[in-house]
Amino acid sequence: MSFFDGVLTPMEIIVVNRQFCEQLGEPYGLDDPEKLQEIVDEINSYNKLYDNKEKAIQKACCLMTGLVFDQPFKNGNKRTSVAISLLLMRIHNYDIKGYKQEEKQKIFYELLENTMMKMEGDKTIRGDIEKFIRENITKI
- The pLDDT mean for the chain works out to 90
Using the predicted structure, report yes or no on whether residue 1 has a pLDDT greater than 90.
no
Question: What's residue 5's pLDDT?
Answer: 65
3-139, CATH topology level: Four Helix Bundle (Hemerythrin (Met), subunit A) (1.20.120)
Distance between CA 53 and CA 14 in Å, rounded? 26
| Whole-Å CA distances, 135 to 15, 57, 96, 106 | 30, 11, 9, 16
Question: What's residue 64's pLDDT?
Answer: 93
The whole-model pTM stands at 0.89
Question: What's residue 33's pLDDT?
Answer: 97
Using the predicted structure, report yes or no on whether residue 2 has a pLDDT greater than 80.
no
Secondary-structure percent of the chain, ordered helix, strand, coil, rounded to 5? 70, 5, 25
Helix H or strand E segment including 128? helix 124-136
Mean pLDDT of 36-42: 97
Distance between CA 45 and CA 59 in Å, rounded? 9
| Whole-Å CA distances, 58 to 20, 102, 130 | 24, 24, 8
How do residues 95-128 score in pLDDT, each as one tens digit? Answer: 998 877 788 788 888 888 888 888 887 777 788 8
Per domain, the residue ranges of the chain are 3-139
Using the predicted structure, report yes or no on whether residue 57 has a pLDDT greater than 80.
yes
